[in-house]
A and B are shown apart, each in its own frame.
Chain A
Amino acid sequence: MRVLDSDTDGRVTACREDELGDGERLLLKVGRRRIGLFRVDGRFFALHGVCPHAGGALCEGPLTGTTRTADDFFGFEYEREGRVLRCAWHGWEFDVESGQSLADPGLRARSYPVRIDDGAVVIDLRPPRRTTT
């Protein structure tokens, strides 16, 4: 667990880009907030560490794939290898990029935007901007 502070803009520099290999993660504590940073196929994703189901350790479970039904209904096809995060408590599946629950369309883990700034991985913790029209 890496303990960091965010800057006054609500951004936090988590690590260098080359510190994480594909499929690896970094668990962060920023103030009172827990965050999991994941590297998947060269891209970085950050999820809030507290599971939306029951407050469990969302980012400490396996990053894996899952099954979907094949065209003949009863078959199994493995998909999304390395893109499905299973919560460490009850094993609910979430898309590591969007935080969307795979089983419940109404459930989503909070995800934070991540950008690479001159080789540094920067997570944006600011609340999502409301679009005003």
Chain B
Amino acid sequence: MIDCDVHNGWDSARVLLPYLDRSFRDYLDRGELPGGRDSFPHGHRAWLHPEGYMRYDTLPPSGGAPATDYAYMCEQLLDRYDLDYAILLGEEGMEVSTLANPYYASALARAHNDWVLDTWAPLDDRLRISITVAPQDPEGAAAEIRRVGGHPSVSQVVVTSGSQRPYGDPFFHPMWEAASEMRLPIAAHLGGQGGVNANPTGTGPPTFYWETHAMLCETGMGHLASVLAHGVFERYPHTRLVLVECGVAWLPAVLWRLDADYTALRKETPWLKRLPSEYAHEFVRVTTQPLERPRNPDALWTALDDIGGRDMLMFASDYPHWDFDDPFTTRFPAEWRDAVLDGNARALYRLPAARPREEAAGAGA
């Protein structure tokens, strides 16, 4: 089983100091910080979770913040659910997208990547790393993807779903080009709703945390439509888009709409050779958490099946966050389980084939 959304944290963003470019080290060391000495520089969301966004039981007994203690992460997640792989996405690092200064944002992303490759990647072969880039600096993001994208632990590039414009926009193409060259997917993970980024929904700012959280799927819809319309995968066929934590139930409805409108107005985007839904089926993957739970579960799977959802969905728990999905209790149709809990992610991230369970248990090192 592969978990495609696991967060690894830190107790203080000052862990980045030794990794940060000398010119920017003073910014983090002595510069203004939004949340005090140990905080990470980013434009914070205006929607504050009234209980904090961590599961209450994830505080490590050793002290420190949730998901900072590898042993406790093993106990609560990796070993408990017998995961083959966990795709780490960091915690606040991807929020560099909210900063106005693209050079500082890219320097922080580089420091984050060197830190995570130095400290987390060597801990366990089951941990796979998502490298953070600053999308508001597309050339810097491209350079960073080429710099560390070949590290054997690196499985993908991650940016926030909050952005200044949708990711298919030609402004971002240097980032897609580099990802395609390095054979890496780009994941847009829920977040980055603050700073210089656009409002999370098109109507203007929502009010409450739960209202906003439920509607953040809209950012996923916007990026999906944009990368399909701009022909990102025609131009850069060796990358993929992964939508993380943006919901899945809307996917069929949006693809049906995109197909219909494209069919009428194909001439606006003559570079496309196939229907949007066909590109999506081949090039877009969507993580399941937090999985929508209709009263009749079949309502979800019937609609998803129509667009080939079994090939597109990948299980994610979002450990240690408050909206965690438990792989043992989250229901998937029996015929979908192998693909969604394992096979789709294994193919996307080119992870070694699963060993039969008995052999895995019997094998030594």
Contacts and interface: CB of A to CB of B under 8 A. Distances in A.
Given A89-B322, A91-B51, A91-B322, A61 B328 contact: no
**In which size bucket is the chain B interface?**
10 to 19
Interface of A: 54-57, 60-62, 86, 88-91
Contacts of B328: 55
A89 B51 contact: no
B316 to A, nearest CB: 15
A88 B57 contact: yes
Interface in B311-365: 322-326, 328-330
Contact of B56 (A54, A55, A60): A60
Given A61-B56, A88-B56, A89-B57, A56 B326 contact: yes
Interface of B: 51, 55-57, 322-326, 328-330
A74 B330 CA distance: 36
Contacts of B323: 90
A55 B326 contact: yes
A89 B51 CA distance: 11
Nearest to A87: B56
A61 B52 CA distance: 12
25 contacts: A54-B329, A54-B330, A55-B326, A55-B329, A56-B55, A56-B324, A56-B326, A57-B56, A60-B56, A60-B57, A61-B56, A62-B56, A86-B56, A88-B55, A88-B56, A88-B57, A89-B55, A89-B322, A89-B324, A90-B55, A90-B322, A90-B323, A90-B324, A91-B51, A91-B322
Nearest to B290: A90
Nearest to B49: A91
Given A54-B325, A54-B329, A91-B322, 15 more contacts: A54-B326, A54-B330, A55-B326, A55-B328, A55-B329, A57-B56, A60-B56, A60-B57, A61-B56, A61-B57, A62-B56, A86-B56, A88-B56, A89-B57, A91-B56
A62 B56 CA distance: 8
